[in-house]
Structure 1
Amino acid sequence: MVRAAVLRERGDATPDPLLTLVETIEDLSSARTVDQVAGVIRSAARRITGADGVAFILRDEGRCFYLDEDAIGPLWKGRRFDMSECISGWCMLNAQTVVIRDIYQDPRIPHDAYRPTFVKSLVMTPVRPRDPIAAIGAYWASERQPTEDEVAKLQIMARATATALDSALMYASLSETLERRKFLLRELDHRCKNTLAAVQSIADQTLRHAQSPRHFVEAFNGRLGALSRAHELLTREEWGRAPLAEVLAQTLAAFGGVDGERIKAGGPPIRLAPETSVAMHMAFHELAVNAAKYGALSRDSGRLEVAWTVEAGADERPMLVLTWSERGGPPVTAEPRRGFGSRLIEQGIARDLNGAAVIDFDPQGVVFRLRAPLSDRMSRT
């Protein structure tokens, strides 16, 4: 900073290359993004070297990405080339500065790519001597031999650029981490509120239909456990889409599990959005509790089969068709009093999936049918 101030006091009409170099390093130290680094380099490198054009090239896996340029004519800004087909790629792969007096006499130059440009001579230097991550190219419109001083200043600039890029990438990573932290806190707050609202609703509805305190405790604990298991599955799936088969298996695990004999389940791969996973889990739980108390799962001879398929609807939209079928349990003599569980199964699921759901209390066993269109809430894998 002191050196730059002293140099500014000279008041020279012609920019001092040394002053420009010092100012460039100062500007690079305050750059916070890769684009800002490129912006500093593209103009400063021309003033320092006296080149007719400068390009800033990033190493993009196996390609060279011409991020920015400042030149008397268009070069290759925004384009990508294979590392093996570009002199900047050769420069980075070999970690060497390249000085070429006549580009059309050098076999490493892709001549067809250069013919539309003004370039006759060039210097290409890597950014970071070990494991280069970028390159700076300086180009001249007339054939000439760049001086050792011009090359040296470009190399100094490249070293400063390496540090600036590392800082920019670190700054971007830190910013991303902070934003991710804020997002996670907001998401956690949202999910906690939703969960508390669900627990409050379960408690209220269970209490409203409970025949006794004992019945309330039993039903409430069961539903709370089902909600917990649903969240456990979603946590394993990192709160992404959960497979329908796993949602069903997780629910039925508390009732003997899907064993292929007494309890069968199967269908094509379907994935459920997090909110739909919870709703389906709770609906399956209500059906399983009823089956364990009064239906097929209350007897050793009882059988439960859950099957689903995807069919074309009336408007040709793919529809999920799911059937929960109980057989071998006690005869169903009358339709039970409809409470929270029945409304959750028939109304809640249907509303959530924009479909239709119905429980049929057939004398041979309860049958639940769900028919709903595939959507962003429920899709094929």
Structure 2
Amino acid sequence: MLTPLSEPVQRMTPSRYLAFARAVQALGRAQDRAAVVDAVRQAAREVSGASGISMSLRDGEECVYVAEDADFELWTGQRFALEDCISGWSIMSGQQAIIPDIYADMRVPHAAYEKTPIRSLVMTPIGEPNPFGALGAYWDELDGPQPGDAEMLTALAAVVGSTLRAIDLAEVLRLDRERAERLYRESKELLRSQAEAERHQTLLINELNHRVKNTLTIIQGVARQTLRGATSLDDAHDSFEARLHTLAAAHTLLTSLGWRPVMVRDLLASATAAFEPATHQAFSLDGPDLRLSPSTAVAMALALHELGTNAAKYGALSSESGQVDIRWWLARSPDGPRLRLMWRESGGPPVVPPSRRGFGSRLLESGLARELQGAVRLEFPSTGVICHIDAPAPLPGELNGGPSPEMGRVGA
């Protein structure tokens, strides 16, 4: 169920809702930071109902005003020390400032405002959990901000922050591509023939394109599933950012290995580290030395994130004595060897089977099962949730040591 809108927001005029919708659409089309700044400049004033707006970004220990829309001159292009301006206060504290009288608030640098008609303001941080900018709205009268204005600005700042982070991720991918092309150019000089150089270029570009497309496909799928199951804007933002962090951690691990197959034990340790409680060691890992292909490893990391999140909220990890045992092995099937992994919770609150499949269950049993090219099955005994994951077996040459005893069990 969606979180009901507050009464002040419900009283907002349709034109402001339309302005917010246009801003979201413009931000969705933005390909770089300049386009984001332009979208904010065009929409923020109408969304907020303010006499003027500004946008500033952090640059080291300073904030730089990059955009404004007002009937009076503000500070675009100027720099201020973070501790000397209200936007810096909002960035450093991560809090929204609602100031009905700027000359009664010592956080505001009064000298900077004397040449303006501004009497009240709202300053909202951009970016979570570490803000990197601020969105300012100004009124030329005391008590200018009305009920609901701050909420609209918070929502707009959240969309701006998510858009800028997505653009930064795209920039990282672009730099990766440029780095690969540069490596090609350097390696071409060492190759003995033009034919060998062209073959090497094709391999590099095809591999990079494949990796980038796969990453973007996964991000789009996660975003679609997250928005479909979210109950509020904050819930969607937090869930999407947590899943992006999981995806980034899996990519970091794979990058450190040169995008070669990764050890199952290393992947599990990385994916569960964020859920390990400070009071005791909750996770037990047991299985043979096996390696997973990069694509299987990314999907497996996302599956483990969903299980860990559910366990921390409702399951074994919500209890001081809760345990999660993870076992994996190779099993034979009519289609050949398969990797089997079992997640078993114990010591948590009694489990009641759900009357219907929730968002997390659907994501595991449908979306992530497709990404794994296998199957995910959930069980809900009273002692704790059990999850069975079936995934493609390691490729030939990716085994370290012999197969587990379960290799002799057909369909195990």
TM-score by length of 2: 0.46
Q: Which structure shows the higher strand fraction?
A: 1
Task: Work out which of the two has the higher radius of gyration on C-alpha atoms and give 1 or 2.
Answer: 1
